[in-house]
Structure 1
Amino acid sequence: MKISIPQILGSLSYVKEDLNIINQQQDEGSQMEQTCNNSTALFGQITVYQQLRLQILSQLSVLQENIEKMQKMEQFVEFEETNLDKLTRNNSRLIDSIRKQK
């Protein structure tokens, strides 16, 4: 069986087409792999973001509790200042009264 040059060239054109298809599929596979890698990286970043968000929410909760405690302390201090003022006035009156009795 004799094979002619046109037959060889025809076969080579089929091989070339097959190689082009394989290269295209490899490119698409590489793109899909890159997309998967990007998705994995993005998922990792989202996970870190969610953890940070939970930490921030926890810290905000503690901060809110501390603010409430400080407000109660301020009220207590104001109450004690009022009591101190009353005691000071009463002491002044008592001292005045004692002086008058002398």
Structure 2
Amino acid sequence: MIEEISLVLGAAKSLLGLAKETKDLLPDSKSKEEIERAIAKAEKDLAIAESSTAQELGFDLCKCTFPPQIMLYDNSSGNNVCPRCHNTTMAKPRIYID
């Protein structure tokens, strides 16, 4: 299930990238402005979906921005670190099953 979610989010990011590139080829017009707004909303919705999925999977989130940043594990300190503001939290113990 996690792989499928990752694939969907990755595909959505790729499509947004293509939409942005295509938008830049259009002449300035009202339609282009509408497309820019739609892309911005889609990017925000995608970021919300990513952070919600990460939270459901047990990752810590930093609320320095909205949507929240997904905190990453730092091997050297053993803490979770926000990639944006560098706030840290104590990492939860991970249970590994063979």
- TM-score where L is the length of structure 1: 0.31
Instruction: Answer with 1 or 2: which has the greater Rg.
Output: 1
**Larger relative contact order (C-alpha < 8 A, sep ≥ 6)?**
2
From the two aligned structures, give the one with the greater helix fraction: 1
Q: Which has the higher strand share?
A: 2
